Amino acid sequence: MPPTENPAEKTLAQLGLSRSGEVPPLFAEACAAFDAAIASVSDETAWKTLRDRWLGRKSGVLTLIADNWLKPASPALKPAVGAGLNRLRAHVEARLEERRAALAAGAAQTASHIDLSLPGVTRPSGSRHILTQVFAEVERIFLEIGFSVVEGPEIETPYYNFEALNIPEFHPVRDDMDTFYLDVPRSFPGPLLLRTHTSPMQIRTMEKQKPPVRVIVPGKVYRRDNPDATHSFAFHQVEGLAVDTDITFCDFTGTIEHFAREFFGPGVKVRFRPSYFPFTEPSVEFDASCIFCGGSGASSGGVCSKCKGAGWIELFGAGMVDPAVYGFVKYDAAKVSGFAFGIGIDRLAQLKYGIDDIQVFFQNDVRFLRQFS
């Protein structure tokens, strides 16, 4: 069917057809014209153009055939024209759908094609957070010397967080200004709080386990601090406990010194200063020589900015377990002894890597975190 002459635009009388036997060849010619046209369709735009040309409601070829061939046909020709039009419509619709599916399949295959000759795309690899790395290093050191790792709830009762650790109700650390207390229904049996340290799990462990006990308790803790370069309302600790029948102060100091040298290096020096904690007696503050100035207190610019010229850096508090604590777990204070310590993971990471602001641990800045991957 030449594009310059469209038989569908003429009536059967204008085409010189008057017998029903002349109708099938006319539809065969139309079908052949459509098949030739669809064979050249190679993209979606050409497909839509052909579809609209043949199936368009106003000027499509099939609409013209219905208007010019079928409607004005004589009663003798109408059956043949109607049957031919139905067959042609079914053929056109079927071939258009086949071609659409073929074009879609070809597009999908092209989109999914992988050119192995192209250079690969390098994706940045993830890594453990710096605090997770420090946690793992601390755990490794203590696991190697016989400690176990236990974990406990972050929501605690005042009994486990304070009383069982020899911190009575009148102690200042139980003030609302230091602790996050939770709003609970009046029907609840007692108050709840966000733990201020991981020591409650030491009590829970001793309640369930008889000596010997050697555990460390890693986890997140909460205190009502105003966030700044050295403080955060949420931070991380590893608290440790060792209880047995013959543990001495020398065992305690040896364990802490071993940890410091494993974590900071064999050249680090250590010292203990008297201090006070409700759950240990005697209590000490543990210091290590400044790893940035080698303990000299000086740097190339004058005074060391990390230790403020002291040559020492305070690490954490520790001490021998106060005998009063044993009474809460039904241990015989006359037969057992032990030590406890509380290590700030955030502070360890700051000291080891020279980080001045604790807030960067929680900001998820990839530029910062990538330095420790």
Q: Per-domain residue ranges for the chain?
A: 7-112, 130-372
pLDDT at 90 over 90: yes
pLDDT at 4 over 60: no
Query: Looking at 94-98, 225-229, 355-359, which range is the least confident one?
Result: 225-229
The better pLDDT of the pair 305, 139 is held by: 139
pLDDT band at 177 (very low <50, low <70, confident <90, very high): low
pLDDT at 55 over 80: yes
* pLDDT computed for residue 3 by the predictor: 47
- pLDDT, average across residues 211-238: 90
CB 244 within 8 A of CB 336: yes
Amino acid (1-letter code) at residue 209: Q
pLDDT band at 159 (very low <50, low <70, confident <90, very high): very high
pLDDT at 111 over 80: no
Amino acid (1-letter code) at residue 345: I
Query: Looking at 6-10, 110-114, 255-259, which range is the least confident one?
Result: 110-114
pLDDT band at 1 (very low <50, low <70, confident <90, very high): very low
Q: Kindly report the backbone phi and psi dihedral angles of residue 297, in degrees, each rounded to the nearest multiple of 5, phi listed first.
A: 80, 0
Q: Domain 130-372, what fold?
A: BirA Bifunctional Protein; domain 2 (3.30.930)
Q: DSSP for 94-161?
A: HHHHHHHHHHHHHHHHHHH---TTSPPPPPPPP---HHHHHHHHHHHHHHTTT-EE----SEE-HHHH
Average predicted confidence (pLDDT) for the chain: 88
The better pLDDT of the pair 276, 297 is held by: 276
